[in-house]
Amino acid sequence: MKKAYKINLIVLWVALCGLFASCNWQQDVAPMPAYDGVANTTIAQLIAMHTIGSLDSYDHLSEDSADIIISGIVTSSDEEGNCYKYINIEDSTGGIQIKINSSTLYNKYRLGQRVYVKCNGLDLGDYRRLPQIGVWANGKMESIPSNKAYQYIFGDGPCQTVEPFMTLTSVPAKASELPAEYFNRLVRLEGATFADGGHSTYSDVAAATSHDINLAGGGKVVLRTSNYAKFRAAILPEGTGTVVGILTRYNDDIQMVIRDLNDVQGFVAPPHLESIFTVNYPNAFNEGWTQTASGSEWNVLTNTSFNGFYITANGATDSWLISPAINLSNVQSPVLSFTHRAPSGGDNAMMKLYYSTAGSTDWIEVPMSEFSTSESNFTFNIPADAQSSQFRFAYRFTGNSKSWYISSIAVSALVTK
């Protein structure tokens, strides 16, 4: 008997393990009940039953009146934490937000799922002119209790592929100038640029955050991101691309909510200048800098007020300061820049800039016209025929009883992240 008992326990344990392994443990709520019927009201017709007020307002959809049944496709998802305690559904006439008191709605109301909503017994209202269904309490639209949602919301059929119902390349200045049926629907913004792209996160830690999306065709849409979104700390992209999301409004502001970072597509940062060559002045002559001096020599000076090269002529001088080879063969639009001054005066007869295209001694002079006793900046757009792997530049000084100070030497080029 003991042996049989142990065998039965083992069989039971194996059976339970198989049952547990076959369950979808993300589904922490009972599946939606199916609806055996048809919709008799479009979403646009439902919204028309409520007059949007200047302040939040609502209309109760009585349980004693004729059935009001809408149907739509779920276009939102809270899997990444950004569509908090609501779902959006839409049909061919419009969209609406349904508030439900649960934080894992994506398990039950899956993206692309068709649902039916029996609206009787619920409240139809708006939050800052955005239509909503829920339960009106405490002067605002509250969520349908999660343990009662099954009484009102029903599933139907497999999930469908969800595509934005339209593409916007421009928007007006005010939400009231857009057709009402655009809101609470999935849309695509083309030619979109984040005003804070490249340095701001999608949301601050403390509160939901707004960021402007400027459209190439004109106008802006405000992206709203919850501080509970899993992608909150990601950096907004630079450049221009496409943003897909639920179009919403806050009074007359046009807003959008994305579901996850897959809704932000095709952004390519514009090229920007980045330093590809700088000088470590204290070790410059150990890192490829050379000079050929007749008379006075080039020196390095580093102190609290200056960090760079200088030369002071004590008699006839013809001295060259030559950079190490710089590889410009795979860069775009390189620029040489530096700061210089001639404390006792100077001109382009005694202070010259040259460059070499292939590391040879065939130097090409770069015209310079400004030689100030105080610091001045100089930039030189390096020509395409000089962009070799052995690009060099050189300073030549032929002054007598004069000085030339040069600092902040850099070569920059356009790079794309």
Distance CA 302, CA 282 (A): 7
The verdict on residue 65 lying in a domain is yes
The mean predicted confidence, pLDDT, of the chain is: 90
Which range (26-30, 40-44, 88-92, 175-179) has the least confidence? 26-30
User: What's the average model confidence in pLDDT over 341-366?
Assistant: 84
pLDDT at 197: 95
Residues 233 and 300 reside in one and the same domain:
no
The answer on 121 and 170 residing in a single domain is no
Res 78 pLDDT > 60: yes
* CATH number of the domain within which 101 lies: 2.40.50
Whether residues 236 and 301 fall in one domain: no
Q: Note the pLDDT of residue 24.
A: 40
Q: 58 in a domain, yes or no?
A: yes
Are residues 201 and 233 located together in one domain of the fold? yes
Q: Mark whether 351 and 400 lie in a shared domain.
A: yes
Residues 32 and 148 in one domain: yes
10 has a pLDDT exceeding 60: no
Q: What are the tens digits of pLDDT across the range 110-132? A: 999 999 999 999 999 999 999 99
**Which residue in 81, 76, 55 sits closest to 246, CA to CA?**
76
Q: Is 11 inside a domain boundary?
A: no
Please tell me whether residues 309 and 239 are part of one structural domain. no
Distance, in Å, from the CA atom of 163 to the CA atom of 287, rounded to the nearest integer, reads 58
Please give the biggest Cα pair distance in the chain: 116
Q: Indicate whether 50 belongs to any domain.
A: yes
Let me know whether 262 and 285 are in one domain: no
Last residue of a domain, one of 220, 245, 269: 269
Residue 145 sits in the same domain as residue 170: no
Tell me whether residue 244 is in a domain: yes
pLDDT of residue 360: 64
Which residue did the predictor score with more confidence, 258 or 5? 258
291/410 same-domain check: yes
Residue 19 has a pLDDT of 43
Among 212, 240, 269, which residue terminates a domain? 269
Per the domain annotation, does 5 fall within a domain?
no
Q: Are residues 128 and 195 in the same domain?
A: no
Task: Please tell me whether residues 401 and 380 are part of one structural domain.
Answer: yes
Q: Cα–Cα distance between 352 and 290 in angstroms, integer?
A: 16
pLDDT grade for 3, boundaries at 50, 70 and 90? very low
Which pLDDT score is estimated for 12? Answer: 46
Q: Range with the lowest mean pLDDT among 61-70, 241-250, 321-330, 367-376?
A: 367-376
Provide the domain limits for residue 173.
166-269
Residue carrying structure tokens 């009201």: 41
Locate 266 and state its tokens. Answer: 């095709």
Domain-located, residue 248? yes
Rounded CA-CA distance 182/192 in Å is 18
Query: In which band, very low, low, confident or very high, does the pLDDT at 272 lie, cut at 50, 70 and 90?
Result: confident
Does the pLDDT value for residue 31 go beyond 80? Answer: no
Q: Above 70 in pLDDT, residue 144?
A: yes
Tokens 């001088």 -> residue = 317
- Residue with structure tokens 């000079």? 291
Question: Do the domain assignments include residue 1?
Answer: no
pLDDT of residue 130: 95
The total of structural domains in the chain comes to 3
Q: Which of 156, 191, 216 is the last residue in one of the domains?
A: 156
**Is 235's pLDDT higher than 50?**
yes
